[in-house]
Amino acid sequence: MADAKPISLTRFLLEQQRDQGRINADLRLLIEVVARACKRISIAVGKGALGGVLGNAGTDNVQGEAQKKLDVLSNEILLEANEWGGHLAALASEEMDDPHPIPHRYPKGEYLLVFDPLDGSSNIDVNISVGTIFSVLRCPADIEPGEQAFLQAGTRQVAAGYAVYGSSTVLVLTLGDGVHAFTLDREQGTFLLTQSDMRIPEQTSEFAINMSNLRHWEPPMRQYIEELLAGRTGVRERDFNMRWVASMVADVHRILTRGGIFIYPRDMKDPDKPGKLRLMYEANPMAMIVEQAGGAATDGRLRILDIQPEKLHERVAVFLGSKDEVERVTRYHREAAT
């Protein structure tokens, strides 16, 4: 009889190192450490009001957003877990103005880790799914591990992933060879492989967007959504359904599971901002995951993974998910620009 025992994340990573030669021991350690930190965050999120972790921290982050207690706590958990292992050159996060160097007392490694410690934090206090998003880069050999070292296009990511703290906690990971999902066994405290090679269907009839911004959108964006809303009597000749969790991780996880398109376009509410979401720790890791699962990801014009970042906290418009829809809405934007 075949071995029916589920594969743990530890075993999966070891096999990626030993049998596939895809990762080295440092990258294996890095992913394990991030997964362990996600387990701790999952426990803190799960305690809810009983853990005294709900509500605002009383501080703002570098983007001027009010930090939740859980934003700060999740950031501390990830920092503390990753500082001492010797696998990193530096870390950077949504919740820190500048990159965090590895303290002198610890050895340094070749990788850079950048993360959104808690995504969707407006959902914490109302008991809706939140998550952690992370991206791993190599630190260029000739550069100090400051902001400049992080400014690499998404194509240079060596790994990306997210944990979604939903009705179950699921870690989704890519090492550049497909996308794999691990569900947290809460009794054992182990992530177990529950889906390998996730694939996003190329076609979809489901979209995710914050419709309340419609009046601020650019014309190609309005045209695209109006066609979806017209349903079977319009040019698309079929009905579309809509979902918006307001946690990117939860929306992307649904799209990975059953298809769909996720959009956070540039809008005229604040014309100086090219979008709301952040390139380095939201758009890039999600774009790598989505592409690895057969989907597409653009900023409405260009492939997200090809964008050369200029700032750590740079924002970008995001269109990702099922290929046919991402290509269509990207075409509308390109045609409008010519």
Residues lying near Mn ion in the complex (CB under 5 A) are found at 94, 116, 118-119
Closer to Mn ion by Cβ: residue 136 or 245? 245
Closer to ligand AHG by Cβ: residue 28 or 254? 254
Q: Give the single-character DSSP code of 303.
A: B
Closer to ligand AHG by Cβ: residue 33 or 263? 263
Rounded to whole angstroms, how far apart are CA atoms 104 and 107? 7
**β-pair partners for 215:** none
Instruction: Kindly state the smallest distance separating residue 326's Cβ from ligand AHG, in Å.
Output: 16
Residue 210 interaction partner, one of Mn ion, ligand AHG, none, beta carbon < 5-8 Å per kind: ligand AHG
Write the CB contacts of 202 (distance below 8 Å, at least 6 apart in sequence). 294, 322, 323, 324
Closer to Mn ion by Cβ: residue 115 or 240? 115
DSSP letter for each residue of 217-251: B-HHHHHHHHHHHHGGGSTT-S--EE---S-HHHH
Positions that interact with ligand AHG (CB under 6 A): 65, 94, 116, 119-122, 210, 246-248, 264, 276
Q: Which residue is nearest to ligand AHG (CB)?
A: 248
Residue 247 interaction partner, one of ligand AHG, Mn ion, none, beta carbon < 5-8 Å per kind: ligand AHG
The first and second tokens of residue 71, run together, are 């934003």
Write the CB contacts of 313 (distance below 8 Å, at least 6 apart in sequence). 62, 63, 94, 278, 280
Instruction: Kindly state the smallest distance separating residue 276's Cβ from ligand AHG, in Å.
Output: 6
Closer to Mn ion by Cβ: residue 120 or 259? 120
The beta-carbon contacts of 228-232 under 8 Å, at least 24 apart in sequence, are none
Rounded to whole angstroms, how far apart are CA atoms 72 and 75? 5
SS (H, E, C) 258-269: HCCEEEECCECC
The first and second tokens of residue 67, run together, are 């930090």
Closer to ligand AHG by Cβ: residue 68 or 323? 68
Residue 75 interaction partner, one of Mn ion, ligand AHG, none, beta carbon < 5-8 Å per kind: none
Residue 230 interaction partner, one of Mn ion, ligand AHG, none, beta carbon < 5-8 Å per kind: none
Residue 82 interaction partner, one of Mn ion, ligand AHG, none, beta carbon < 5-8 Å per kind: none
Instruction: Kindly state the smallest distance separating residue 189's Cβ from ligand AHG, in Å.
Output: 26
Instruction: Kindly state the smallest distance separating residue 35's Cβ from Mn ion, in Å.
Output: 19
Angle at 121 between CA 119 and CA 122, to 5 degrees: 135
Instruction: Kindly state the smallest distance separating residue 67's Cβ from Mn ion, in Å.
Output: 9
| DSSP reduced 3-state for 108 | coil
Closer to ligand AHG by Cβ: residue 16 or 121? 121
Instruction: Kindly state the smallest distance separating residue 113's Cβ from ligand AHG, in Å.
Output: 16
Q: Which residue is nearest to Mn ion (CB)?
A: 119
